[in-house]
A and B are shown apart, each in its own frame.
Chain A
Amino acid sequence: MEKTWLVAVLVVIIIGIVAGCLTLVYILPLDLRERSPLQPIDFSHKQHAGTNAIPCLFCHRSVTRSPLAGIPAVSECRACHQFIDPDAPEIKKLMGYWDRREPIPWVRVHALPNFVYFPHMMHIRAKLACSTCHGEVASMERVTRTASLKMGWCLECHRQHKASIDCWACHI
C-alpha cells in the first residue's frame, strides 16, 4: 500500500517538475538565437561602411521603398570586386559562389517571427537611423545583434516616438 502511494507521489512530482520546466522555458526571456553567427564569407561591415564610408543605401537599396531592406545580388558584389582586391582569400570565396552560380547563403542576424509585420520603409521615412535597431554596424567586423527585438523593446520605442501601439500596427 505504502509503495503504491510512494510511486503515485513520485509520478506527480515528476510531472510537476516537467511542467514547471516547460513553463519556465516559455516565460523566461530566453534569447537562444546566435547574436553574432558565423557567415559563409567573412564580410566586414567595418571595412565597407566604416573605413570606406559606403552609405548603407548603396547596397541595401530597397529600404526606402519596401518592407525589406534588400541585400545585394552576388553579381553586384562581383561587379566591384572584379577590380578591387580580387586576390584576397575571401573575395576568391565570393568568386567561387559566382562561378558555381550559387547565391551566398548569408545567415540572418536580425530575425522577427513571421506573425510580425515590420516595414523598413516606414521606419526610414520616420527618419530613424539604421543604427537605432542595428547598432553601430560601421564598426563591426562581423554583424552582431545589439537589440533584443522583443515586443517590449519595440513598444518602448513606439511609445517614445508616439507611434501606434495598436495590435494591428504590427500583427496584421
Chain B
Amino acid sequence: MKRRTFLQLSGMTAAGALLAGCQSKNEKLIPFLITPDEGVTPGLATWYVSACRFCPAGCGILVRVSEGRAKKVEGNPLHPVNRGKLCARGQAILQELYHPDRVAQPLKRTGARGSGEFQRISWTEGLALLTGQLTALQQKKATDRLAMVTPQLRGTLAELTTDFMAAFGSPYHLSFDLLAPDWLRRANRLNFGKASLPFYDLAETRYLLSFGADFVEHHLSPVQYGNAFGRMRQGRDTVRGHFTYCGGRMSLTAASADRWLPARPGSEGAVALGMARLMLAEGLFDKEALAPSGMRPEQLLKRLATYDLPRVAELSGLSEGQIAEVAREFASTRPALAMAGEAVAFQTNGPEAVRAVQMLNLLAGNLNRPGGIYPDAGSPDGPENSFGELISLVERMKAGRIGVALVHGDPVHDVPQAIGFQKAMASVPFVVSFSSLMDDTAQQADLILPDHAALESWGDMIPLAGTREGVIGLMQPVVTPLFDTRQFADVLLALAHELGGAVAAALPRQNSLEMVKAALQKRLGAGTGDFEARWVELLQHGGLFKTTANRGKGQATGYRQIPGESLPEPAPPGFAGDKQLFPLHLQVYPSLALYDGRGAPLPWLQQLPDPMTSVVWDSWIEINPQTAATLGISHGDLVEVASPQGALRLPAVIYPAIRPDLVAIPLGQGHRAMGRYAAGRGINPLSLLAANIEGKVPQPAWNATRVRLTRISASGELVTAGSFQGSFRSELIEM
C-alpha cells in the first residue's frame, strides 16, 4: 500500500467514526401490549399510601407509581410517627421490590444443603410438600416437633402465627430479633410495673441525657426521634434543649450532643446510679414524684451509698467533676429526660444498667409528664426474654426434637455463631424459608416459599414506641406482584386450610386482606356505620391514627413507680476473653444504612456513605488513634481482629471519637448469600462474639467480648466517599 493511500484511508475511517459517534439514534417508543386498567394514565403518577416494614418503627409511606411501576417512596405527612419524613432505609425498599436476585417462585432443594442447588416448583407442589411434612408430624402425634422462627411481629401477623402454632399444637414459636428491645420491656416492668416500651417526649424536654441510645440512627423509632430532636433543639423560641451523651463510642447521635462522656464499657449503669446518689444527697430530686412509691429518700441514699463520686469516677474513667456537673444540670433542669440504649443494654450487666438509667427518670419526676416518658400505648406487650427462648430452641434442635422448622427472616446471619443456631438448624430434617431473597437462611433451607416484597403486600403495621396514641398503619400493595410469590400470611392460611381439622377451624380467613380488614373492623367496633366506606378512607390516609382500642390491659393509666424493694444493682461488667491476651473491648453497633443486615442486599444502602467514617460497600473497624499508633496501624490498613471465638480480617478506620480501650465494628455485612450486592461483602462481626461470658448462662451481651488487633498489611482496600472533615483534636474529648 502506498503511503498516500494509507493516510487517505485512515483519515476517512477517523472521520467516519467521529460522525457515527455524533449521530444519535432515535429512541424507541414502547406501547403497552394490553390496555392497562382505568386508573393508569401514561405519564401521570399515582400516589399510594402504605407503611414501611423495614425496621420495627413502622413509618407511614407514600409511594409514587407510574404506569404500574413503583418509582419513589416518601414519608406520609399524616402519619403521627414520621410526619412526612423518611429515613434512607425506608427510601430504599423500592430496591427490595426490583432486586434482580429475588426468589421468583417456590424452590425445592436438589443438591446438598447449602450448595445453592434448587429446582423450581409450583405453589401447588410446594404447599403439598410442606403439608405432607406437617401431616406426618400430626400422624406421629409429634406436633411439638414443629418450630417457627420469625422476627418480633405485631398486629394480625403476630396473631396469625400464634394461632397457627397453637392450633397445630406446638409451643415452639420463637420471635427473635438481634436488636429487639426485650431489655427495655423488662426494665420498665421492674421499675414502673409495665412491660410496655416507653415513648420519650424528646421534643418537649429541656435536658436530654442519653446512655448509649442512638436515637437518630436506629434506636426504637429513629425518624420520630430524629424529628423530635430537631424540635427539642430549634422548635421553641426561648429554649434550646441541652443534650449529653454517655457512651464509649461517638455515634452519629453522640456527635450531635453538646457533651460527650466516654464512659468505660459496662460502667454506664454505675454512672447513672452515681448521678442518682448525688441528686438524693443534694436534695435535687422531685420529692412529690417520689412520695407515692413509698420510697424514702434517706433509705434510698443509704442503699446507693456505694455509688459515691470517687468510686463511680474510677469505674467509668470519667472525672468526678464531669459526672457531678452533668448530674446537677440534669437535676436542676425541668423537664429532663434520660434514655438508655443498645450500647448499654447489650452488656452483661445491661438489664440492671438500663433500670439504673430509668431510675434517673423516676427521681426527676418524669413519668407521664410532658418532656418525660409515657408508656407507648400503641404496641402491645412483647417478649421480655426472646433470647432465652432462642437458647432453649437451639437445645431442642440439637437434641433432634424438632422435625420441621418454618423460618421467616435470616437468623443464620443474624444470630451470633457462638449461640449455635446455625449448627442446630443443620440437624433439623426439614427447613422451610419464606425469604423473598436468597439469603443465608434460604440457602440452607429444603424448601423456599418466597414472600411478597413489602410493596406487594397487605398488612397492618403497629409502630414500635413512636407515639403516645395507639396507631395502626396499613400496608397495601402498590403494584401487581412481579413474580410468582405469595404473602407469608396467605401461605400459613393456605397451609391451615390444607391441614384441615382443628387447624383449619382456628384459622377460617381466606387471605391476609380479609384478615386485616376483620381486625380493623373489630377495633373500630360496632356502630361505625358503613365499614367499607370507612375502610377506603383508612386506606387513603394510611391507617387508623387515633385509637385506644389496641392498648393492653391497664396500659391506659400510664407508668407508676412501684415500691422500691428491688433497686437496680448493676454488677461489675463481665467480658469474654482474657484481659492480657485480648486487651480491647469490642462494640458491635447497627449500621446506619444496613441496620442488622437486612439492608445489605440494597445497593442504595451499600453506597450510602457512613456518616461518621464515609466508608461505602464494606465493613470496617474503628480504632482510636492512640491505640492504632501503639499497634502500628494506619488508616486503611488490613487488620486481624481476634476474639476467643474466632478471627476476622477487615480494614481499619482511625477514629478519634472512640475510647482507646474500645474498638467498634458495624453490623450488617458478611452475608454468604442474599443476592449479588450483599454476598461475600465485608465481614459479620457476630461471629466474633462469645456466648458464655465468664462461665455464666448465655445472655444477649453483644458488647461484652474482648479482642486483639494485629496489623496484616497496608492493603485494606477501604473505600470512602470522602475524607474526614475538621480536626482530630477537639476540646470536648478529655481522655
Listed in ascending order, the chain A residues whose CB lies under 8 Å from chain B are 21, 25, 30, 32-34, 37, 62, 65-68, 70-76, 98, 101-109, 111, 120
Contact = CB atoms under 8 A, between A and B. Distances in A.
B26 A102 contact: no
Interface residues of B, number: 19
B529 interface: no
Contacts of B44: 62, 65-67
Given A66-B42, A105-B30, 18 more contacts: A33-B26, A62-B41, A65-B41, A66-B41, A66-B44, A67-B43, A67-B44, A68-B42, A68-B43, A70-B42, A70-B43, A73-B31, A73-B32, A75-B34, A104-B31, A105-B28, A106-B30, A107-B26
B33 A106 contact: no
Contacts of B35: 72-73, 75-76
The 6 closest A-B pairs by CB, nearest first: A68-B43, A73-B32, A66-B43, A106-B29, A67-B43, A108-B29
Given A65-B44, A70-B42, A32 B28 contact: no
A83 B27 CA distance: 32
A74 B33 CA distance: 5
Contacts of A65: 41, 44
Contacts, number: 74
Nearest to A38: B26
B42 A103 contact: no
A74 B42 contact: no
Contacts of A73: 31-36
Contact of B32 (A21, A74, A107): A74
A172 B621 CA distance: 42
Interface string B38-55: 000111100000000000
Contacts of A21: 18
8 contacts: A32-B22, A66-B41, A98-B33, A106-B28, A106-B30, A108-B27, A111-B27, A120-B43
A68 B32 CA distance: 14
Nearest to A119: B43
Nearest to A74: B33
Main secondary structure on chain A at its contact with chain B? Answer: loop
B31 A106 contact: yes
A98 B31 CA distance: 12
A33 B26 CA distance: 6
Nearest to B31: A71
B139 interface: no
Given A66-B41, A67-B44, A68-B42, A25 B27 contact: no
B42 A62 contact: yes
B10 interface: no
Nearest to B19: A32
Given A75-B33, A75-B35, A34 B43 contact: no
Contacts of B299: none
Nearest to A37: B26
Nearest to B35: A73
A103 B32 contact: yes
B23 interface: yes
B566 interface: no
B588 to A, nearest CB: 44
B26 A34 contact: yes
B36 to A, nearest CB: 8
B469 to A, nearest CB: 38
A70 B35 CA distance: 11
A32 B24 CA distance: 7
Contacts of B31: 71-74, 103-104, 106
Nearest to A73: B32
A132 to B, nearest CB: 20
A7 B36 CA distance: 66
Contacts of B32: 73-75, 103
A61 B681 CA distance: 49
Nearest to B22: A32
A105 B34 CA distance: 14
Nearest to A79: B35
Contact of B43 (A32, A33, A62, A111): A62
B429 to A, nearest CB: 43
A62 B36 CA distance: 12
A33 B29 contact: no
A89 B475 CA distance: 50
B458 to A, nearest CB: 28
Nearest to B15: A21
Contacts of A106: 28-31
Nearest to A66: B43
A102 B42 CA distance: 18
Contacts of B43: 62, 66-68, 70, 120
Contacts of A111: 26-27
Most chain A beta carbons < 10 A, residue from B27, B34, B35, B43: B43
Contacts of A32: 22-24
Most chain A beta carbons < 10 A, residue from B24, B26, B36: B26
